[in-house]
Chain A
């Protein structure tokens, strides 16, 4: 071997140029030949040790640059040959640009296959070349600041093959790749390995100026552009052809496919970009169209409770900026619309009722209320379900739904009354055979509606009225249930809200104790015992909703008057300084009536008792006129009519009216119905049930509420000013609103009026110098 003498040469002074050149040429020829053999896949005849030593010697003798350039030339030459002999002949016949004439892309696939082989050959060869030029890489490339030989190989491949100046390889490659992807988008099966090989190749090559991959500089933008165009067209086609659920399935599928495509043969860096394009073209651009699709859009999905489709829409639309906002507002509008419809059935119902109000079907009003609440609850249930099953309990959606409910619930000015009536309906004894748990869960739901009410003080007023009736008529299902409900209200509104309600309960309890004591007192006393059992409930006038300051007119029978007197003496003897007024309009009585067939026990109101007792003095068949009854009993006219109606026109006809009819009119004659029969021995004459208020009553309630608000507003102002001493007008208004809004929304004009009233009464004064500032006067 010629190289055998080398070791000695290394440490001697440099040889004569001639000899060094000869040595170089000899070394280089061997190496160039070897690289060619490697390219020909003939490496098995080569010796690593020798070739390595040749390169080593060349570098050692300062011929590194010559070696490096020589290698560059040999590789370039080889790649030029490859381009001509392998790549160019594999160009798709018809040209990749006219892919239509080559529909299955076979030519393109073959081109990619050839490129794959060329690339694999190149990298294999470069690895071997790198092995034998390891010393050059380490010693020469570093000091000369040139790429390592493997990277040199990549650059040469990039410039000679991929971006060849001589042949349109780049165009073909990009178009074939895009065509293959297009084919796959159109459900053709393509050979992903070939595509992946080319993509990987582009990823391994670096663009010299941008230092980015050739994939990024040459391919990615083109890919994104064509995808954008592709999905723009597809989006328009799909919205025209499919209904909303199908459309979303298609979009879902596309998103999935693109994600898979990236994972299988593109770069991960492309994933967010292509996702954005599909989202933009297929979702953002068609948001409203899909939401508003007739018979299949968002509203039909809600109507038919298509939870899967809704869930899909939620997920898909959540990918784009406006998606959820559009959905939210569409659903909220729909809720408002449905709510409006519910409100309308009620108003149409009540006006209808108003038309024949005199018919006095007392159930109708309450039924309307109960149905309204039930429909609202059903609606709430429905959207809770949607929220739960399709919207992942998204808080933003919940808020917007709540606003919609709040909106239409407060559009119905009767909602506080209705909700209270609904609760009343559920807390009344023996209704509908619901278990306590069922009632409890209904009430829990009702509380959610209660939350939406803006005028909680109005609700409170109605609730007190209804509760009062339940308590006094003994119609509560149970104390526990009542207290449970009050507990729920307390949680919502705090202790202040429920003090009076609790006070009502206390009155009931204390009264029952008082009655026990009263009985004992009677037993021990020497007084003549009353001829009837008297049961008295003593109500603290401030807790109860009725006006308890005066006794309504009514001439009670003497026995009763006497018994009342006995109780009054007993009670006032124990509690001096109190005043009792008798509320005959709220009492009930058990009386025994003898009819032809049998005796019945009748449970009637105090007024009805008064009326019936009048007939005791009459002969059979002797009648009393309306005017007679009215004069003798002195019962207020409206109450009298209602009670006569219950006795003569309702289910149990204890009295017979002449002329017959549903209405009570002046001049009517009444007879005791001796022929009355009924299967039960004990009969309850239906007392006036809770019902929706008439317009007059409503006005009265309204006035009471307004009055109460004045007081509450003044109290709030004084409370705040006492604390702050001095305050600016707007800040004071804001603070008052803050304190009161849990009960009602005070309007600034009202607050202003109250401030003026307080100034007049010298609780406040305007600051001297600044009229917008108030001072508190102690």
Chain B
């Protein structure tokens, strides 16, 4: 198995949402999008989600956590989740403003590695 295969598989996991246990609702008003994600992956990749999904804070209904993140735009959230799942990001496809938004959002949720990566870009 190559690393690429692994990335593909994890990307599929995110896009298909198979066996999801966390729904992230990003954005607000009419611009809301739901992402079907996995607490195991989120927790192990991000301290922010680790705290958010810990038993002190996670509010489960039927075994599913719904996590609202109104101040992050769905498009940005998609990029962040992609990075969480695969460790890659295609910054060159993004416009400058988006990159800034992306930087801000990843700063908020303590994603140090991603932040360094973008800042160096």
Contacts and interface: CB of A to CB of B under 8 A. Distances in A.
Interface of A: 1, 3-4, 6-7, 10-11, 43-44, 46, 48-49, 52-53, 56, 127-128, 131-132, 134-135, 138
Contacts of B52: 48-49, 52, 131
B56 A4 contact: no
Contact of B70 (A4, A46, A134): A4
What are the 7 tightest A-B residue pairs by CB atom distance, in nearest-first order? A131-B51, A48-B57, A48-B52, A7-B71, A128-B56, A56-B108, A6-B71
Contacts, number: 45
A53 B71 contact: yes
Given A48-B51, A49-B67, A49-B68, A43 B110 contact: no
B93 to A, nearest CB: 22
A134 B56 contact: no
Contacts of A43: 56-57
Contacts of B54: 131
Interface residues of B, number: 19
Contacts of A4: 28, 70-71
A135 B110 contact: yes
Contacts of B47: 134
9 contacts: A4-B70, A4-B71, A11-B104, A43-B57, A53-B108, A128-B57, A131-B52, A132-B51, A138-B110
A11 B100 contact: yes
Interface in B5-31: 28
A10 B104 contact: yes
B56 A135 contact: no
B69 interface: yes
B104 A7 contact: yes
Contact of A49 (B69, B100, B104): B69
Interface in B49-103: 51-52, 54, 56-57, 59, 67-72, 100
Contacts of A49: 52, 67-69
A643 B39 CA distance: 115
A271 B70 CA distance: 56
B51 A135 contact: no
A128 B58 CA distance: 12
A134 B110 contact: yes
A48 B56 CA distance: 9
A470 B60 CA distance: 105
B70 A131 contact: no
A586 to B, nearest CB: 101
Contacts of A138: 110
A91 B67 CA distance: 46
Nearest to B48: A134
Contacts of B67: 49
Nearest to A7: B71
A37 to B, nearest CB: 12
Contacts of A48: 51-52, 57
B68 to A, nearest CB: 6
